[in-house]
């Protein structure tokens, strides 16, 4: 990390800028009645509500939490998909309150009449200015965003964000769960996010030289919702990532999916990140998924869309020996073939949850 580089977060000792304290931003709600109900829906009294959430530019907002509550204590909670929409069906009639929340946006709320029909509503939420934009103003490449709980998407203040690699360093999120870090010319950024009462997550982002900033929404799972096996596997991962050598690389799901390849093996080749480290993933590479060894399986049997994070280690990459200790004695790696070249990766760790 560049000495004296500005780090926005509570560790910097800086007051939170006035633009980040704004709470009275514009809130607009648009309502439109959609298609007519089917005969079955009309006769049965089933109300179907389709909510589309968009931002001030008219773009869909995924991962927004939509809550519907009625006077009879009926409460439904759904999360929008990639297209920004979510559907709810129920038999309760009368008036209901629909609210939308997503970290980094103004919340929205409106009242609708449930009358046994199908209704479409569009709710517009406006994005907050963030500390990351403040870093952009001074013309520095940066990565940052907001850390929040997966349940309810509530900001997590005081979460620790620990970076590894050239941009090594640590900071904590501010009272709004925000953080930002200038990264200079770094093209690959890996960091671990942790907070008391939550399961830690590792984020890996590849940023091309022309990319000035990357803003992320990082959702943490409550520790009570995580199995002991996964918790132990995540602890081992934290140990491994403290030693970032030449013979290992961490790839994020975003980078792998950006290749367009459906099979994970093809995505790894297309990304080029493993090759840049002088490594190759072969059919002789040992595969571990969410902390569970997978003897006899190769990465070609896993779809890219399910991968959140991927670790790749060369012959000396598993410095702490956590993967060697985990692997069953005499169990075959991949197809059982012997590794013939020093550039063949020994271990691949796939994370479909974290």
- Mean pLDDT, range 284-310, rounded to an integer: 91
Kindly indicate the confidence band of residue 73, based on its pLDDT and cuts at 50, 70 and 90: low
Tell whether 133 and 86 lie within a shared domain.
no
- Mean pLDDT, range 260-272, rounded to an integer: 90
Domain assignment present for 239: no
Q: What's the whole-model pTM score? A: 0.59
Tell whether 212 and 279 lie within a shared domain.
no
Domain assignment present for 62: yes
The larger pLDDT score, comparing residue 33 to residue 55, is at 55
Residue 76's CB is within 10 A of a number of other CB atoms, namely 17
Tell whether 215 and 290 lie within a shared domain.
no
Q: Are 119 and 34 in contact (CB under 8 A)?
A: yes
Kindly indicate the confidence band of residue 154, based on its pLDDT and cuts at 50, 70 and 90: confident
If DSSP codes are grouped into helix, strand and coil, which group holds residue 85?
Answer: strand
Tell whether 255 and 290 lie within a shared domain.
yes
Domain assignment present for 76: yes
pLDDT at position 24 is 33
Domain assignment present for 240: no
Say how many CA atoms lie within 13 Å of 77 toward its Cβ. Answer: 9
> What element of type H or E holds 237?
helix 228-241
pLDDT single digits (tens) 175-216? 878 888 888 777 788 888 999 999 888 888 888 777 777 878
pLDDT at position 219 is 86
Tell whether 78 and 98 lie within a shared domain.
yes
Most confident range (mean pLDDT) of 28-37, 78-87, 173-182, 185-194 is 78-87
pLDDT at position 3 is 38
- Mean pLDDT, range 249-260, rounded to an integer: 90
Domain assignment present for 238: no
* Domain stops at, among 159, 191, 226: 226
Place of tokens 């993933």: 281
List the strands of the sheet with 347-351, edge to edge. 248-252, 309-313, 347-351, 286-289, 292-293
Domain assignment present for 75: yes
Residue ranges making up the domain that contains 188: 10-17+128-226
CA angle 42, 45, 48 (to 5 degrees): 80
Q: What are phi and psi of 324, to 5 degrees?
A: -65, -40
Tokens standing for 139?
């013309």
Kindly indicate the confidence band of residue 20, based on its pLDDT and cuts at 50, 70 and 90: very low
Tell whether 114 and 156 lie within a shared domain.
no
What CATH number corresponds to the domain at position 41? 2.60.40.1120
Kindly indicate the confidence band of residue 245, based on its pLDDT and cuts at 50, 70 and 90: low
Tell whether 116 and 162 lie within a shared domain.
no
Percent of the chain having pLDDT more than 70?
79
Domain assignment present for 166: yes
Bridge pairing between strands 118-124 and 47-54: parallel
Tell whether 108 and 172 lie within a shared domain.
no
Domain count, the chain: 3
pLDDT at position 136 is 53
Tell whether 104 and 187 lie within a shared domain.
no
* Domain stops at, among 71, 106, 124: 124
Tell whether 343 and 262 lie within a shared domain.
yes
Domain assignment present for 134: yes
Tell whether 105 and 138 lie within a shared domain.
no
Q: Is the pLDDT of residue 38 over 50?
A: no
Tell whether 144 and 194 lie within a shared domain.
yes
Give rounded-to-5 percent helix, strand, coil for the chain: 20, 35, 45
CA distance 167 to 144: 13
Nearest Cα residue to 8 out of 216, 179, 142? 179
CA distance 108 to 121: 12
CA distance 271 to 280: 12
* Domain stops at, among 94, 109, 124: 124
Q: Is the pLDDT of residue 37 over 70?
A: no
- Mean pLDDT, range 162-185, rounded to an integer: 77
Kindly indicate the confidence band of residue 287, based on its pLDDT and cuts at 50, 70 and 90: very high
pLDDT at position 103 is 76
pLDDT at position 244 is 66
The larger pLDDT score, comparing residue 284 to residue 210, is at 284
Q: Are 60 and 54 in contact (CB under 8 A)?
A: yes
List the strands of the sheet with 94-101, edge to edge. 75-79, 65-70, 94-101, 108-114
pLDDT at position 286 is 93
């Amino acid at each position: 990390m560049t000495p004296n580089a500005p780090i926005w977060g509570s560790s910097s000792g800086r007051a939170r800028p006035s633009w980040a304290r704004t709470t009275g931003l514009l809130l607009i709600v648009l309502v439109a009645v959609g298609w007519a109900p089917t005969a079955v829906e009309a006769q049965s009294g089933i109300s179907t509500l389709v909510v589309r959430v968009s931002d001030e530019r008219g773009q869909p907002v995924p991962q927004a939490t939509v809550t519907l509550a009625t006077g009879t204590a009926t409460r439904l909670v759904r999360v929008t998909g990639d297209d920004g929409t979510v559907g709810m069906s129920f038999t309760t009639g009368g008036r209901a309150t629909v609210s939308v929340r997503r970290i980094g946006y103004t919340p929205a709320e409106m009242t609708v009449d449930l009358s046994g029909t199908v209704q479409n509503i569009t709710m517009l939420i406006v994005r907050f200015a963030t500390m990351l934009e403040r870093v952009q103003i001074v013309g520095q490449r940066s990565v940052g965003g907001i850390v929040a709980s997966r349940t309810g998407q509530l900001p997590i203040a005081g979460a620790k964000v620990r970076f590894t690699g050239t941009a090594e360093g640590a900071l904590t999120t501010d009272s709004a769960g925000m953080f930002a870090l200038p990264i200079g010319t770094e093209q690959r950024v890996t960091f671990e996010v942790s907070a008391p009462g939550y399961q830690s997550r590792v984020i890996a982002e590849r940023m091309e030289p022309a990319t000035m900033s990357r803003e992320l929404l990082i959702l943490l799972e409550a520790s009570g919702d995580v199995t002991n096996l996964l918790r132990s596997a995540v602890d081992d991962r934290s140990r491994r990532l403290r030693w970032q050598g030449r013979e290992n690389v961490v790839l994020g799901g975003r980078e792998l999916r950006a290749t367009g390849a459906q099979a994970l093996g093809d995505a790894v080749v297309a990304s080029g990140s493993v090759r840049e480290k002088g490594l190759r993933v072969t059919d002789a590479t040992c595969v571990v998924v969410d902390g569970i060894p997978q003897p006899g399986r190769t990465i070609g049997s896993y779809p890219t869309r399910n991968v959140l994070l991927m670790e790749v280690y060369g012959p000396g990459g598993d410095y702490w020996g956590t993967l060697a200790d985990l692997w069953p004695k005499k169990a075959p790696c991949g197809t059982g073939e012997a590794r013939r070249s020093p550039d063949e990766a020994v271990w691949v760790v796939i994370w479909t949850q974290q």
